[in-house]
C-alpha cells in the first residue's frame, strides 16, 4: 500500500510539473446536473427493460415474485448509487470507477478493469446493442440492407459526433434520453388506460395477485434461492450502467455536488419506470403471456393500439438502443484516457484535441473495436463471458469506500466538499458487496464455462499491465 501511495504521489507530481511547464488542452467542464442525470439514466436504460420482463417471468410464475425480484434489483441499484455518489464526492476525477480502484488498491486492479472494459464489457455490449438497433431500424424502414451495415454505420456516426466535443455528445445523449423516457411513459400509460380487463391476459388482476402468500408455491430451499438468483441476473443487467456516468466526472461542472445528485435522482427514476413497466406487462399479458412472448413491450402496445402501437414502441426501442450507444461512446473512452495518463496505455490515447478538448483517439479506438465485434457476429458469446467479471469489479469498487473512509479516519482529515451519503453504512455497503459476489457465485455455479473464459480474458491483462509498467520506466 505504501508503494502504491508513493507511486501515485510521484505520478501526481509529474503531472503537475508537466502542466506547469507546458500547459495544454484540458478536459472542459461543460456538463451540468441535467446532463449528468441523463447520462446516469441513459447508461442504465437500453433495450433490456423492453425484453427482460419475459426472461424473468419464465423463471418465476407469480406476479408477486416477479415484481419482488425487480424491486430487489432496484434496491441493489439504489444502494450502488449511494456508494458511487460518495466515491464521486471523494474522488471527483476523470475515469470514475477506474480511479477509485487505482487509488484504493493498486494500479494493476484498475488496469484490469479498463482492460476488460475495452476488450469485452463496453465494446461487446455496444456491439450487441448496435445490432439490436439495426434490427428494429430495418423492421421500421424495410430498407434492403444488412443489419451489420446499419450497426456499423450507427457506431461510426456516434464516434464522429463524440469526437466533436463533450457538449455535442452530451446534448445528443440528453435529447435521446428524453425520447426514451417519453417512449416508456407512453408504454405505461397505454397499458394502464387503453387496455380493458376483457382484453388483458389470463392474469390481469395483478393487484389481488400480490396480496396472497406467494412464497407458498416455492418451498424455501437451495433450488428456490438459485432460481431467485438466476432471475436477478437479467434484472441486475437491466439496472446496470449507473457507474458509467462517473467516467466523465472531469467534464461535469461542480462534480462533488452534481454527480452524486445525478446518480441518486437518475437511479431512483429508473427504478420507478422499471417497476411500472413490469406491472403493466403483468396487467396486460398475465404471467403466462409474459413468459411466452419474446417482445412484451410490442405485445402490450399491439393490444392497446393495434399494429400502429407495435410500430410506435419499435421506434421507441430503436431510439432507446441508440441512446444507450451514445452514452457508452461518450463515457467509457475517459477510462482509456485515464489509463494513458497513468502510463498504462499508448500516450497518444491520453492526448486531447486542442479545439474540442476530448480524447479523440480513445473514442475512435472504442468505436472501431465495437464495429469489429459487431461485424464478427460474436457479441452474444462475448457478453456471456463478462457476467461474473462485471460484478467482481462492482463489489471491489464498493470495498473502496471502506478503504477511503479508513484512510480519512486515520489521518483525521476530511476531503474538501466530500459528503457521506451512504445510509446505513457499513451494513448497507457490505450487503451490496455480498449481493454482487453472490451473483458471481451463482453465475459460476450455473455457467462455469463462460465464467472461466471471462476470467481468462481478464487474467490475460496481467502480463500486459507489467509490459506497460516496464515500457513506462524505460
Q: DSSP characters for 356-372?
A: T-S-HHHHHHHHHHHHH
Q: Which of 85-94, 108-117, 282-291, 443-452 has the lowest mean pLDDT?
A: 443-452
* Residue from 38, 384, 32 nearest 242 by CA: 38
pLDDT at 273 over 70: yes
**What pLDDT score was predicted for residue 42?**
87
Distance in angstroms (rounded) separating the CA atoms of residues 291 and 55: 7
Q: Which of 174-178, 383-387, 406-410 has the lowest mean pLDDT?
A: 383-387
* Residue from 165, 122, 159 nearest 31 by CA: 165
**What pLDDT score was predicted for residue 425?**
87
**What pLDDT score was predicted for residue 51?**
81
**What pLDDT score was predicted for residue 416?**
53
Q: Residue 429's pLDDT band (boundaries 50, 70, 90)?
A: very high
Give strand pairing partners of 252: 31
Higher local confidence (pLDDT), 451 or 465:
465
* Share above pLDDT 70 across residues of the chain, in percent, rounded to a whole number: 84
**What pLDDT score was predicted for residue 158?**
92
Beta strands in 149-212 (DSSP E): none
**What pLDDT score was predicted for residue 160?**
92
pLDDT in tens, 146-170: 888 999 999 999 999 988 887 787 7
Say if residues 17 and 240 touch (Cβ distance below 8 Å).
no
Cβ-based burial of 402 (10 A; exposed 0-12, middle 13-18, buried ≥19):
middle
pLDDT in tens, 136-146: 888 888 888 88
156's enclosing H/E stretch is helix 147-163
Q: Residue 445's pLDDT band (boundaries 50, 70, 90)?
A: confident
Angstrom CA distances, 458 to 231, 242, 389, stand at 25, 22, 8
Cα 275 to chain centroid, rounded: 18
Name residue, grid cell 430495418.
Answer: 138
pLDDT at 464 over 90: yes
Q: Residue 23's pLDDT band (boundaries 50, 70, 90)?
A: low
Average confidence score pLDDT of the chain:
82
Domain ranges of the chain: 29-473
pLDDT at 319 over 60: yes
Distance in angstroms (rounded) separating the CA atoms of residues 212 and 57: 18
* Residue from 426, 422, 436 nearest 86 by CA: 422
Residues 6+ apart with CB under 8 A from 435: 76, 79
pLDDT in tens, 31-80: 888 888 988 898 888 877 888 898 888 888 788 889 999 999 998 888 88
Q: Which of 155-164, 169-178, 338-347, 418-427 has the lowest mean pLDDT?
A: 418-427
Q: Residue 198's pLDDT band (boundaries 50, 70, 90)?
A: low
Angle, CA 197 vertex, CA 192 and CA 199 arms, to 5°: 95
pLDDT in tens, 375-407: 887 666 666 666 678 888 999 999 999 999 998
**What pLDDT score was predicted for residue 27?**
67
Q: What is the pTM of this model?
A: 0.81
At 408, list the grid cell.
Answer: 480519512
Helix segments in 202-254, DSSP class H:
206-209, 222-239
**What pLDDT score was predicted for residue 13?**
45
Name residue, grid cell 396487467.
Answer: 283
**What pLDDT score was predicted for residue 397?**
94
Q: Which of 119-123, 267-271, 276-280, 367-371 has the lowest mean pLDDT?
A: 119-123
Homologous superfamily (CATH) for 29-473 = Amino acid/polyamine transporter I (1.20.1740.10)
Q: Residue 455's pLDDT band (boundaries 50, 70, 90)?
A: confident
Mean pLDDT over 182-205 rounds to 76
Whole-angstrom Cα Rg for the chain: 22
Amino acid at each position: 500500500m505504501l508503494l502504491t501511495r508513493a507511486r501515485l504521489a510521484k505520478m501526481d507530481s509529474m503531472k503537475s510539473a508537466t502542466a506547469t511547464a507546458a500547459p495544454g488542452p484540458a478536459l472542459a467542464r461543460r456538463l451540468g446536473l441535467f446532463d449528468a442525470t441523463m447520462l446516469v439514466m441513459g447508461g442504465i436504460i437500453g433495450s433490456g427493460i423492453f425484453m427482460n420482463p419475459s426472461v424473468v417471468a419464465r423463471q418465476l410464475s407469480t406476479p408477486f415474485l416477479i415484481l419482488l425480484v425487480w424491486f430487489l434489483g432496484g434496491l441493489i441499484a439504489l444502494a450502488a448509487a449511494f456508494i458511487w455518489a460518495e466515491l464521486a464526492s471523494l474522488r471527483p476525477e476523470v475515469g470514475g470507477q477506474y480511479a477509485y480502484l487505482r487509488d484504493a488498491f493498486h494500479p494493476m486492479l484498475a488496469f484490469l478493469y479498463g482492460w476488460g472494459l475495452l476488450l469485452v464489457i463496453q465494446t461487446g455490449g455496444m456491439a450487441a446493442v448496435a445490432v439490436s438497433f439495426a434490427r428494429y431500424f430495418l423492421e421500421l424502414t424495410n430498407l434492403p440492407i444488412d443489419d451489420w451495415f446499419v450497426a456499423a454505420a450507427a457506431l461510426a456516426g456516434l464516434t464522429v459526433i463524440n469526437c466533436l466535443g463533450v457538449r455535442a455528445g452530451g446534448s445528443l445523449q440528453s435529447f435521446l434520453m428524453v425520447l426514451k423516457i417519453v417512449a416508456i411513459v407512453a408504454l405505461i400509460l397505454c397499458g394502464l388506460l387503453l387496455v380493458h380487463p376483457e382484453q388483458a391476459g389470463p392474469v390481469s388482476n395483478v393487484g389481488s395477485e400480490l396480496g396472497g402468500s406467494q412464497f407458498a408455491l416455492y418451498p424455501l430451499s437451495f433450488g428456490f434461492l438459485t432460481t431467485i438468483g438466476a432471475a436477478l441476473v437479467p434484472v441486475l443487467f437491466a439496472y446496470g450502467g449507473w457507474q458509467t456516468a462517473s467516467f466523465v466526472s472531469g467534464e461535469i461542472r461542480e462534480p462533488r455536488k452534481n454527480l452524486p445528485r445525478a446518480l441518486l435522482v437518475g437511479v431512483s427514476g429508473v427504478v420507478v419506470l422499471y417497476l411500472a413497466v413490469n406491472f403493466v406487462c403483468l396487467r396486460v399479458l398475465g404471467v403466462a403471456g409474459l413468459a411466452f412472448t419474446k417482445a412484451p413491450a410490442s405485445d402490450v402496445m399491439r393490444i392497446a393500439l393495434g399494429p400502429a402501437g407495435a410500430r410506435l414502441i419499435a421506434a421507441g426501442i430503436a431510439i432507446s438502443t441508440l441512446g444507450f450507444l451514445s452514452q457508452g461512446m461518450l463515457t467509457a473512452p475517459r477510462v482509456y484516457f485515464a489509463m494513458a495518463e497513468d502510463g498504462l496505455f499508448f500516450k497518444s490515447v491520453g492526448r486531447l484535441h486542442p479545439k474540442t478538448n476530448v480524447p479523440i483517439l480513445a473514442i475512435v479506438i472504442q468505436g472501431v473495436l465495437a464495429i469489429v465485434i459487431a461485424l464478427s457476429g460474436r457479441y452474444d458469446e462475448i457478453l456471456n463471458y463478462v457476467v461474473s467479471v462485471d460484478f467482481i469489479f462492482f463489489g471491489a469498487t464498493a470495498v473502496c469506500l471502506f478503504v477511503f473512509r479508513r484512510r480519512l479516519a486515520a489521518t483525521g482529515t476530511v476531503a474538501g466538499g466530500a459528503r457521506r451519503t451512504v445510509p446505513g453504512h457499513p451494513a448497507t455497503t457490505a450487503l451490496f458487496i455480498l449481493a454482487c459476489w453472490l451473483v458471481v457465485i451463482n453465475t459460476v455455479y450455473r455457467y462455469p464455462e463462460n465464467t472461466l473464459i471471462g476470467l481468462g480474458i481478464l487474467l490475460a491483462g496481467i502480463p500486459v499491465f507489467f509490459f506497460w509498467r516496464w515500457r513506462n520506466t524505460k
